[in-house]
Structure 1
Amino acid sequence: MTSRIKSCVTIALVPPIRTGPWIYWDDLDASMRKAAALGFDAVELFTASADAIAAKHLTALSRQHNLAIAAVGTGAGKVMHGLTLTDPDPAVRAKAVQFIQHMIAFGGQVQAPAIIGSMQGNATPGVSREQALDWLADGLNVLGDYAEREGVPLIYEPLNRYETNLINRLEDGVELLSTLTTRNVRLLADLFHMNIEETSLQDSIRSAGRAIGHVHIADSNRRPIGFGHTEMSGIATALTDIGYSGYVSAEAFPWPDPDAAAGQTINAYRQYFGRVY
């Protein structure tokens, strides 16, 4: 019998973000082979663009290694092209929507939702937070409906205050979703961001409930679970209590190295989410 909550590990294939919190790097086939050998259920991918990997090739690797594709990130749109959904320039916002649409279509071919994190942007000088949130909502409405047509949800990620001045807490994310016309957007509960912004990670998870569609796990120092002081058992209980049945994906620094980080992650997953092999 297996746990309803599934394990996942991140793979980044974008050189400019090499110092980020991703467990595996560069070699997709080798990384998936290692993830499969450890017993992960899925991988989450960060690619430079929607055409950086052929969907047919990714599908073949997924089948070969018996790994689902849990999600695809869109952060390269900001890192490499400076695109956000809240840029004051409407032409830039339109390009951001187009970039994300391409990522949604790519993910849809492998039944994986796209994640909007850094591409949400900020309220920049001269632009009110209210105006920026209106632009963000406009983008999410268009993209949520587009994702629905592609057969996948859209995942929106609240970020900590040092990365955005828009939505920082799950509670605020739930409120934002309630204003949308689309009903195809879910929240990403990222433990690292939550550790900075939430009074209680457990209470925030319970309050957000069914709005949560994806989870990023990392310890308090953004190393893998078990290398910091995050109280994980209560978080696992809260996710179980709300009936969460998606992925807990390790978006953590590869400390002390990728293989050790991946091993620590799967061991923590088994400890807290009770998977039986």
Structure 2
Amino acid sequence: MIKSCVTIALVPQIKTGPWIFWENLEAGMEKASKLGFDAIELFTPSADAIEIPRLKELLAQHKLELAAVGTGAGKVIHGLTLTNPDPTVRQKAISFISDMIDFGAAFGAPAIIGSIQGNVLPGNDREETMSWLAEGLNQLGKHAESKGVTLIYEPLNRYETNILNTIEAGSKFMETLETNSVKLLADLFHMNIEEGNLEESILNWGKYIGHVHFADSNRRPMGFGHTSMREIAEALKTVRYSGYASAEAFPYPNPDAAAEQTIEEFRKWFA
């Protein structure tokens, strides 16, 4: 069964980004619970920004699960990526993500690698850059496995990275890794830009998908763009996807309305 999820970001530096609720964790969780969401996806400045016992208490209080934790603060705040030419920076990125894996694992939740994957920088060799990415994902995937969780890798659109942009490219790269504990994030916004056919991509590579970002073609909440959800929902059911559909979307027209729109669309397609 596919479960509903809404994003909460606690990183001031990314306040212009596509997250539904901001700043106030408890208020966001209370609203998510009242609307009937199953879980939250959390973006924090670091792995120790929230005490684990306190978060467990809040999740139990609001009858919510933790679906995943983001690692983007590693890049936004500290400038870390897994593909930086400097090995010291790459190791710091691995350490930052490892700490986030440990944090999420306390709740059975995976960490997500999005922007912290980096880019093939001008003047750098693509093959070498991809070897750095593979090295990082292998190490982090094995660490995640030791903690009883998976690691989620997100193909981003061409305007955000020049590494891996499609579910097919991501899946073929996953096949080259030494670990089976890295899964893909199918972000419907990015897919609307890069995929020739979203339904076919899910059907062909669904076994690699471990998380879904539920946002429309314009990155507003689902239903405010031109994404054709009927075929996508059927494809996810066909491949027996049973994870979360998480609203990583702009809080349009405001956070409360965005959350309400998201849960209505979720129930329309997945209830």
Same fold flag (TM > 0.5): yes
Partner of 2:127: 130
Matches for 1:16-27 after TM superposition, within 5 Å: 16-27=13-24
Runs of 4+ in 1 over 6 A off after TM superposition: none
After TM superposition, the structure 1 = structure 2 runs for residues 190-201 of structure 1, keeping only pairs within 5 Å, are 190-201=187-198
Structure 1 CA distance, aligned partners of 2:174 and 2:217?
Answer: 27
Q: Secondary structure at the match of 1:56?
A: helix
3-state SS in 2 of match to 1:49: coil
| Correspondence for 1:85 among 82, 100, 110 | 82
Structure 1 residue 205: Cα displacement: 0.7
**Does 2:157 correspond to 1:160?**
yes
- 1:7 corresponds to which letter in structure 2? S
Deviations 1:79-133 (A, max 9, x none): 0000000000000000000000000000001111000000100011221111111
Mapped partners of 1:210, 1:64: distance in 2: 34
Q: Counterparts of 1:83-232 in structure 2 under 5 Å?
A: 83-232=80-229
For 1:241-260, what aligned pairs fall within 5 Å after superposition? 241-260=238-257
The total of aligned residue pairs comes to 271
- 2 CA distance for matches of 1:128 and 1:60? 48
1:202 to partner: Cα distance: 0.5
Residues in 2 aligned to 1:71 and 1:193: alpha-carbon distance in whole angstroms: 18
Q: Does 1:58 pair with 2:61?
A: no
Alpha carbon RMSD of aligned pairs, Å? 0.5
Secondary structure at 1:7's aligned position in 2? Answer: strand
Matched, 1:45 2:42: yes
The alignment's TM-score, normalised by the length of structure 2, stands at 0.99
Q: Structure 2 unaligned segments of length 5 or more: list them.
A: none
Q: Which amino acid aligns with 1:217?
A: F
TM-superposed deviation, 1:254: 0.2
Give the Cα–Cα distance (whole angstroms) in 1 for the partners of residues 58 and 260 of structure 2: 21
- C-alpha distance in 2, partners of 1:111/1:62? 13
Partner of 1:236: 233
Paired with 1:124 and 1:209, the residues of 2 have a C-alpha distance of 30
Task: Map Cα deviations across residues 226-254 of structure 1 (whole Å, 9 max, x no partner).
Answer: 11110011100000000000000000000
Q: Take 2:125 and 2:248, find their aligned partners in 1: how far apart are those partners?
A: 31
Distance in 2, matches of 1:161 and 1:126, equals 18
Instruction: Write the distance in 2 (CA, Å) between the matches of 1:176 and 1:163.
Output: 18
| Whole-angstrom distance in 2 between the partners of 1:196 and 1:226 | 17
| Other structure's SS at 2:157 match | coil
User: Which string of whole-angstrom CA distances, capped at 9 and with x for unpartnered residues, describes residues 241-274 of structure 1?
Assistant: 000000000000000000000000000000011x
In structure 1, the gaps of 5 or more residues are none
Describe the SS at the equivalent of 1:179: coil
* 1:147 aligned partner, one-letter code: A
- The residue number in structure 2 matching 1:33 is 30
Find the residue that maps to 2:232 and give its secondary structure.
helix
Q: Distance in 1 between the 2:126 and 2:55 partners?
A: 39
Q: Which residue of 2 aligns with 1:12?
A: 9
- Deviation readout 1:193-243 (Å, 9 max, x if unpaired): 000000001001111111000000111111000111100111000000000
Distance 2:3 2:219 in 1: 20
Q: For residue 38 of structure 1, what is the amino acid of its counterpart?
A: L
Aligned AA (1:172): A
User: Structure 2 residue aligned with 1:269, among 230, 254, 266?
Assistant: 266
- Normalization by structure 1: what TM-score? 0.97
